Chains A and B, each alone.
Chain A
């Protein structure tokens, strides 16, 4: 026995076993997320149940389970949709109550702009004097038309009216600013000019509103009548429909097409219905942009700190104290950084900027409220110890002989640092940056009080001068998961979204890290050979 332990084999087995357990747990987590996340866009068959009391219900099977404390009894959770009619999306059905179940080929799933899915049969197109019969393929041109209309409405609303609002706000602030100045003749002239401009804008605005009203009226014109499973008729404006599918008739390729369309919408679309439907693009954009700003802030901060600590500070008590403190900073709960960011960046610095540069818009804060810049800086503070420690290690790894070689050629300390030591330590620095990015991309708590919102009206980058709006609030995938999963009014319908959003977050972090790793390897090569 003693001999066996002396060989060390049991220890190898112990360590290998532990590693296996860890790997299995991580893989299990990822597989769970992938299965649930990738599965949700796959069209499911619509099943129709006839119950013992004669009621007919139709929908997608969401879940099956045995009823606790009852033998051989099971129940089915059916997504019946039609929230506006039934008041809820899901319904539990005791399998014992089901008399028959069938899969009607003409059953349709309508994805709507509001109220979630609707399941039913297409009855016809509503006209003044009744219902004109309409086939499923007759719906496609109507949908195309309504999609074009939707695009137009969005354009007018977002771009045109958005522009006008933006310029109006600018003019209003300008007026406010001018009002604070001495009312000389020049100023008065300016005031008159701005006011005239505002009036012009007002006219355009009213015109656009009229256009919009006309478009909306047009949108309401066409309506289809849908026959629900329980025999009720329901009128559905075509404009409300995003897409219609007949999953019971779809082949594999049709399903794949449907799947990719949904997936595309998820990545590039904007969220709808309190984030439970639609896409997550603003959240992806916000996450990536925040991480990038954070890296831009953290790298110089961390590297300069580490270079001073390692290369210039003498190794005395204070330097050691600073080093220990920096390391301990990594262990401070992130929410503490959030509170600090709120107090220091937002109220103190942001408030100061507002007082100095944007007094005209006060009391409405410009920088004195949460925004992507402050969130990024808070995270930079949170991750700076990672970069400092990694850089210090990188610097320590540069052999003394290289430094001596440089000194012996008449280089000064700073030349040696810039030309030999730091290039040599760059992989270490970038490793630190990668770790910092990974940490920052996954951090949510400090963001919640420094600028993340559930739904941001516009991205931090857009077509309005100066194009990058660092003061804007933003959306973030991590917060999106929390919001959709736990703060949503329709949690049950949103659960699949949580998985998919998690998947997207993991993927985003992966892409960010891979980019950084590739950059590191390229840089390494570049420093050693002078070419990429």
Chain B
């Protein structure tokens, strides 16, 4: 396994020998991986290979599932996030997440974006307004919704809803943003918009994205990991993976000869 681990510049996340069980079923089998700061890292692989499970470990969202047990460790900025002393809510504020299906709260656009800051205890309207505007601008949505901030977020289109969810995550000023197949429910135009935005986001945030769309991974990411059956088959700079894969399985998958 160790040979698959490559050196990345400025690692922010270190995943060390991570194994995860759903009950008795082993879903992740000893993952070793480093994620580089302020880069886009994408995880690809066939359905059920464990890539979503892996990113849900990074903000401990798997804690919500009772049967899950975890071995190994994940370090963010050198701190083990599975340390009992870690405050999970604090961790989740630092590691934002966007889900496969847009899931804005059934509230106004404004209320959606400032949901997180409100929870942290920011109550001043001026500050919240500023946060809202900044986050929506970063999510490339401000121009589209600035006149209707106080209408229901569910009235927006799917792509806009997904960008609301991204803005909602950005509003917390996280260090890392996890995206779990954010474009799988969207049409190509909405997808393109989100991709452009992600490239922009790279300047401020570390982005980890799970995707089924290999072109997407190739287009936007700096590093790519290929997973199969709970194992990290290959992890490398994206151009290397797509032009010169080391493993046969990777090559079969990206050329479409597999699955």
Chain A residues in contact with chain B, CB under 8 A? 399, 401-412, 415, 419-420, 423-424, 527-531
Chain B residues in contact with chain A, CB under 8 A? 59, 61, 64, 89-93, 96-97, 99, 101, 103-108, 110-111, 115-116, 119-120, 150-152, 154, 165, 168-169, 172
Give Cα distance in the complex from A286 to B101, angstroms: 51
Do A410 and B106 contact each other (CB < 8 Å), given the known contacts A404-B99, A528-B152?
no
Do A404 and B172 contact each other (CB < 8 Å), given the known contacts A420-B105, A527-B107?
no
Q: For B89, give the chain A residue with the smallest CB separation.
A: A410
Complex contact A402–B105 (CB within 8 A): yes
Q: For B97, give the chain A residue with the smallest CB separation.
A: A408
Do A412 and B89 contact each other (CB < 8 Å), given the known contacts A405-B99, A405-B165, A406-B115?
yes
Complex contact A529–B61 (CB within 8 A): no
Give Cα distance in the complex from A530 to B115, angstroms: 13
Complex contact A402–B89 (CB within 8 A): no
**Sorted from nearest, which 5 A-B pairs have the closest CB atoms?**
A410-B93, A408-B97, A409-B116, A401-B103, A410-B92
Give Cα distance in the complex from A399 to B99, angstroms: 13
Rounded to whole Å, the gap between the CB of A249 and the closest CB of chain B is: 63
Contacts of A407 in B (CB 8 A): 61, 64, 92
> Can you list 14 A-B pairs, Cβ within 8 angstroms, ordered by A?
A401-B101, A402-B105, A403-B64, A405-B103, A406-B115, A409-B119, A410-B93, A411-B115, A412-B89, A419-B105, A528-B152, A529-B108, A529-B150, A529-B152
Complex contact A408–B119 (CB within 8 A): no
11 A-B pairs besides A406-B115, A409-B115, A419-B115 with CB distance below 8 A are A404-B64, A404-B99, A405-B105, A408-B169, A410-B89, A527-B107, A528-B106, A528-B108, A529-B152, A530-B111, A530-B150
Complex contact B89–A527 (CB within 8 A): no
Q: Residue A528 contacts which of B99, B103, B154 (CB distance < 8 angstroms)?
A: B154
Complex contact B90–A410 (CB within 8 A): yes
Q: Residue A530 contacts which of B92, B107, B154 (CB distance < 8 angstroms)?
A: B107
Contacts of B64 in A (CB 8 A): 403-404, 407
Give Cα distance in the complex from A527 to B107, angstroms: 6
Contacts of A406 in B (CB 8 A): 105, 115
Contacts of A424 in B (CB 8 A): 106
Contacts of A419 in B (CB 8 A): 105, 115, 119
Contacts of A411 in B (CB 8 A): 89, 115-116, 119
Give Cα distance in the complex from A404 to B105, angstroms: 11
Rounded to whole Å, the gap between the CB of B106 and the closest CB of chain A is: 5
Complex contact B151–A529 (CB within 8 A): yes
Contacts of A412 in B (CB 8 A): 89
Rounded to whole Å, the gap between the CB of B232 and the closest CB of chain A is: 23
Contacts of A399 in B (CB 8 A): 103
Q: Which of B119, B150, B168 has the most CB of A within 10 A?
A: B119
Contacts of B90 in A (CB 8 A): 410
Contacts of A401 in B (CB 8 A): 99, 101, 103
Give Cα distance in the complex from A423 to B169, angstroms: 21
Complex contact A409–B169 (CB within 8 A): yes
Q: For A398, give the chain B residue with the smallest CB separation.
A: B106
Give Cα distance in the complex from A412 to B108, angstroms: 21
Give Cα distance in the complex from A209 to B12, angstroms: 93
Rounded to whole Å, the gap between the CB of B197 and the closest CB of chain A is: 19
Q: Residue B59 contacts which of A408, A528, A529 (CB distance < 8 angstroms)?
A: A408
Contacts of A528 in B (CB 8 A): 106-108, 152, 154
Rounded to whole Å, the gap between the CB of A5 and the closest CB of chain B is: 41
Contacts of B106 in A (CB 8 A): 402, 423-424, 527-528
Give Cα distance in the complex from A409 to B110, angstroms: 15
Rounded to whole Å, the gap between the CB of B96 and the closest CB of chain A is: 7
Rounded to whole Å, the gap between the CB of A531 and the closest CB of chain B is: 7
Give Cα distance in the complex from A423 to B107, angstroms: 10
Give Cα distance in the complex from A250 to B108, angstroms: 62
Q: For B118, give the chain A residue with the smallest CB separation.
A: A419
Q: For A405, give the chain B residue with the smallest CB separation.
A: B103
Give Cα distance in the complex from A249 to B106, angstroms: 65
Q: Residue A404 contacts which of B61, B107, B115 (CB distance < 8 angstroms)?
A: B61
Complex contact B119–A410 (CB within 8 A): yes
Give Cα distance in the complex from A286 to B97, angstroms: 54
Rounded to whole Å, the gap between the CB of A398 and the closest CB of chain B is: 10
Rounded to whole Å, the gap between the CB of A423 and the closest CB of chain B is: 8
Rounded to whole Å, the gap between the CB of B185 and the closest CB of chain A is: 11
Give Cα distance in the complex from A424 to B104, angstroms: 12
Q: For B107, give the chain A residue with the smallest CB separation.
A: A528
Q: Which of A403, A410, A411, A419 has the most CB of B within 10 A?
A: A410
Rounded to whole Å, the gap between the CB of B95 and the closest CB of chain A is: 8
